[in-house]
């Protein structure tokens, strides 16, 4: 029996939503994996291989994905969109100079991070010594358990975490007391991170300034340098 035009039009939005969900699933998988082949992406997303290939080719035509040999990775258009994510309108003007000076004096990879949908998102970046180990670009995201993510969650007790363990309560309390979070290869082998808060008036935290170095680096010295840079960025954001 033929379907009516009304029934067909009701199904089209459902199909369109399914296509969008599949495309976003592929992009999120590529963000996590950095680079992957067709078979691995189909397995990770649960999409049929033919559907995966079709969506990847469409995303490639749009610049959201790019080929790297027989593998795929996030494309330049998504990176540009990532750079458009700003937690504060004056952020680039306030942070660009201090971040570049911090990178120049320490050699570290520097990023300004915010929390988005339970993940750490890089809003601004300056490349440094460990870029080949941790993909550092505007729009990159990682689990919230980075140094920057932990600092942001610790200063936002209203954010839901399940489960909240006693160990995390102690760690979050220490982060608030000292105003710094440190990660020693906890997320990426060969990468240590130091993160400090960037604040507006009344101590409202708007993001975290993070420096990434190799494990041989003097982290105590890095904490001092990043803390000073964070204070400078915070002061710049408060200026009219």
Q: What is the pLDDT of residue 77?
A: 67
pLDDT of the residue at 7 = 43
What is the residue-averaged pLDDT of the chain? 83
- Phi then psi dihedrals of residue 18, to 5 deg: -65, -40
pLDDT tens profile 20-49: 888 888 887 876 666 789 999 999 889 999
103 and 127 Cβ atoms separated by less than 8 Å: yes
pLDDT, one tens digit per residue, over 126-144 is 999 987 776 677 778 888 8
For the chain, what is the total number of helices (H) and then of strands (E)?
8, 9
Question: How many angstroms separate the CA atoms of 184 and 164, rounded?
Answer: 22
- 146 band by pLDDT with thresholds 50, 70 and 90: very high
CA dist., res. 87 & res. 99, Å (int): 16
The torsion angles phi and psi of 238, rounded to 5 degrees, stand at: -85, -15
Q: Do residues 123 and 96 make contact, with C-beta atoms less than 8 angstroms apart?
A: no
């Amino acid at each position: 029996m033929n379907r009516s035009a009304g029934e067909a039009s009701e199904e089209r939005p459902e199909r369109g939503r399914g296509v969008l969900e599949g495309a976003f699933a592929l992009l999120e998988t590529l963000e996590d994996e950095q680079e992957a082949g067709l078979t691995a992406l189909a397995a990770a997303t649960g999409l049929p291989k033919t559907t995966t290939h079709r969506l990847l080719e469409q995303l490639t035509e749009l610049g959201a994905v790019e080929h790297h040999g027989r593998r795929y990775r996030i494309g330049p258009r998504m990176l540009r969109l990532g750079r458009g994510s700003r937690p504060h309108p004056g952020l680039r003007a306030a942070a660009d100079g201090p971040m570049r000076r911090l990178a120049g004096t320490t050699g570290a990879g520097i990023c300004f991070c915010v929390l988005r949908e339970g993940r750490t998102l890089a809003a601004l970046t300056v490349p440094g010594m460990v870029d080949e180990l941790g993909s550092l670009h505007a729009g990159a995201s990682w689990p919230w358990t980075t140094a920057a993510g932990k600092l942001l969650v610790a200063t936002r007790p209203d954010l839901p975490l399940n489960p909240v363990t006693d160990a995390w309560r102690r760690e979050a309390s220490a982060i608030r007391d000292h105003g710094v979070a440190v990660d020693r290869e906890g997320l990426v082998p060969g990468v240590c991170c130091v993160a400090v808060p960037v604040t507006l008036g009344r101590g409202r935290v708007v993001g975290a300034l993070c420096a990434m170095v190799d494990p041989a680096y003097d982290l105590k010295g890095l904490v001092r340098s990043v803390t000073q840079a964070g204070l400078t960025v915070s002061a710049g954001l408060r200026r009219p």
